[in-house]
Amino acid sequence: MKFLTWNVNGIRAIQKKGFEEIISILDPDFVCLQETKAQPEQIDLEDFYPYEYINSAKKKGYSGTMIMSYDEPLNVFYGIGQEEHDQEGRVITLEYENYYLINVYIPNAGENLKRLEYRKEWDIAFGKYIKSLDKPILLCGDFNVAIHEIDVYDPNAAQGHGGYTDEERQGFQKNLLSDLVDIYRLKHPEERKYTWWSYYERGRERGEGWRIDYWLISPSLVDKVRSVMILDDIYGSDHCPVLLDIDL
């Protein structure tokens, strides 16, 4: 089964850039999108996938997640069950017989780290939510943090900036990587590839990016993974997709 994660930086914008053609060519069984920036009635992907689940932010044109699937889940959960953290449409969980699929768009620390304290609170709450689940987990999305030096083009310049502060990196390790495996880095320990580039700094054409989009999986699923690939030749957003192929 193929699982795709992609921060599309606006679902309506990327539909004008060949989104549906790209997905049709890749033909994943599941498509997990972040930063959709749209309310359900603004998303027109009728009959694209038989099952579509949307979690929009209360604030219009902001944040938001979506999952499209060929397989109907047993249950669908929106958010993490905490009202103070569930206003921005950041989490969708699909429950299947043998696993959970979770799509997340984690808050970034913001300009001048103005949301760093909230980010720390969110990480703890989300980590507790993950630990509460009773089946193996496939967790994907935009985590807004690069964990290793190899994950940023210039770690010295990145140090202390949002997405590469000690607090964010340590929170990622403690709250998520204590239970789950960063499967891309496990499979590609030395490969330097990125999933996000700054539009403002023309990062993509300069090859100056960060790896902040992940597939994290339960240790029990590691041996079932066929491949995991960063599809950095696919454009349309300031992020690129990450594709997981796994036997489930």
- The predicted pLDDT at position 47 comes to 81
- The predicted pLDDT at position 181 comes to 98
Each of the 248 residues of the chain gets a pLDDT tens digit; together they read: 999 999 999 999 999 999 999 999 999 999 999 999 999 999 998 789 999 999 999 999 999 999 999 999 999 999 999 999 999 999 999 999 999 999 999 999 988 999 999 999 999 999 999 999 999 999 999 999 999 999 999 999 999 999 999 999 999 999 999 999 999 999 999 999 999 999 988 999 999 999 999 999 999 999 999 999 999 999 999 999 999 999 99
Does residue 239 have a known ligand-binding role?
Answer: yes
DSSP, residue by residue, 173-209? IIIIITTSEEHHHHH-TT----SEE-TTTTHHHHT-E
Residues in the chain: 248
Domain containing 191 — which CATH number?
Answer: 3.60.10.10
- The predicted pLDDT at position 111 comes to 87
Domain count across the chain: 1
> Is residue 29 annotated as a catalytic residue, yes or no?
no
Token code pair at residue 182: 């960063």
Does residue 142 have a known ligand-binding role?
Answer: yes
- Cβ neighbours for 8, distance < 8 A, ≥ 6 positions apart: 14, 19, 33, 34, 35, 36, 236, 237, 239
> Is residue 148 annotated as a catalytic residue, yes or no?
no
Catalytic residue among 53, 85, 123, 142: 142
- The predicted pLDDT at position 46 comes to 75
Catalytic residue among 53, 100, 105, 194: 105
Token code pair at residue 41: 């009635």
> Is residue 184 annotated as a catalytic residue, yes or no?
no
Per DSSP, the three-state class of 211 is: coil
Structural domain including 172 reads 2-246
Does residue 123 have a known ligand-binding role?
Answer: no
Tens-place pLDDT, residues 6-38:
999 999 999 999 999 999 999 999 999 999 999
- The predicted pLDDT at position 208 comes to 96
Tens-place pLDDT, residues 194-222:
999 999 889 999 999 999 999 999 999 99
- The predicted pLDDT at position 118 comes to 96
Catalytic residue among 123, 129, 232, 239: 239
Q: How far is CA 234 from the centre of its chain?
A: 16
Does residue 98 have a known ligand-binding role?
Answer: no
